[in-house]
Structure 1
Amino acid sequence: MEEGFRHIVRIADTDLDGKKPVIHALTGIKGIGLRMARSITNHLGIPAMTKLGELDDETIAKLKKFVEEEIESLPSWMLNRRKDYHTGKDLHLLNKDIDFARMLDIERMIKIRAYRGMRHARGYKVRGQRTRSTGRKGATVGVIRRKK
């Protein structure tokens, strides 16, 4: 480990491990997977397998700015929130924004009494899975045999 090495790099309110390669470290941010991390490094021209802690200040600042502000400049099909319900824009949400948007979507479905919303409200499975034998909460249901 050299003198300018950083063990922890903070990007998008997340502490990333400096010992990992850039593409693997970026996957520590909720909302960025391996494919998105690869496209970010290709877009910025950063060597993907360089350790994150070995990057200089300028490169880290460029990476941080891109992830936090300019990530929507990537093609719209790569973003995780296309045609947002409220704004109509293509967005890429990170960290807490993903959870908040999901919660708002579920509340909207419950409010308009959509089938999926009603399933969410009752705590049932939403995507067509079977509920006869799985997804039960509480005590197990079974047959009790009588003693002879």
Structure 2
Amino acid sequence: MARIAGVNIPTNKRVVIGLTYIFGIGSAKAEQICQQLSIPAERRVNELSDDDVLKIRELIDREFRVEGDLRRELAMNIKRLMDLGCYRGLRHRRGLPVRGQRTHTNARTRKGKAVAIAGKKKVTR
């Protein structure tokens, strides 16, 4: 099992697919890494030599921001918005959608499970 950027890469998958298990590396960056290191697209992770794994690890450390550093940067960006008190920061603080979505209905992912209001009666016609 190859361990790159603190993540165990699944051994039976292709290298391009396995690299996407690292937070911050998607399919496009994974293909770019394989092209730069001239690793064939059909090669599996368990077929990589220790030298290949070392080259991948060094390339990722040198050129990409991944895992902990990237998560920390994203958290700091959100914290900065909240400290500024701007609109986006207030939406983050209240746990509401940030990018202009409606909240009258939907937005359950951000708002959580719907809570019934006690004493509210349904309108009858």
Q: Which aligned pairs between 1:119-134 and structure 2 lie closer than 5 A?
A: 119-134=91-106
Match of 2:26 among 29, 33, 40: 33
Q: TM-score by structure 1 length? A: 0.72
How far off its partner does 1:60 sit? 1.5
> How many residues are treated as equivalent by the alignment?
118
CA drift at 1:63: 1.3
Q: Aligned residue for 1:139?
A: 115
**Following TM superposition, by how much is the alpha carbon of 1:106 offset from its aligned partner in structure 2, in angstroms?**
1.1
Partners of 2:69 and 2:18 lie apart in 1 by: 20
Q: Quote the Cα distance in structure 2 between the aligned partners of 1:38 and 1:55.
A: 16
Q: 1:10 aligned to 2:26?
A: no
Gaps of 5+ in 2: none
Q: Distance in 1 between matches of 2:8 and 2:52?
A: 17
How far, CA to CA, are the matches of 1:143 and 1:53 in structure 2? 62
Q: 1:66 aligns with which of 55, 59, 70?
A: 59
User: Distance in 1 between the 2:86 and 2:98 partners?
Assistant: 11
Higher alpha-carbon deviation: 103-112 or 135-144: 135-144
Report the identity percentage: 31
SS in 1 for 2:100: coil
CA RMSD of aligned residues (A): 1.8
Q: Tell which has more relative contact order, 1 or 2 (C-alpha 8 A, sep 6+).
A: 2
The structure whose residues are more often helix, as a share, is 2
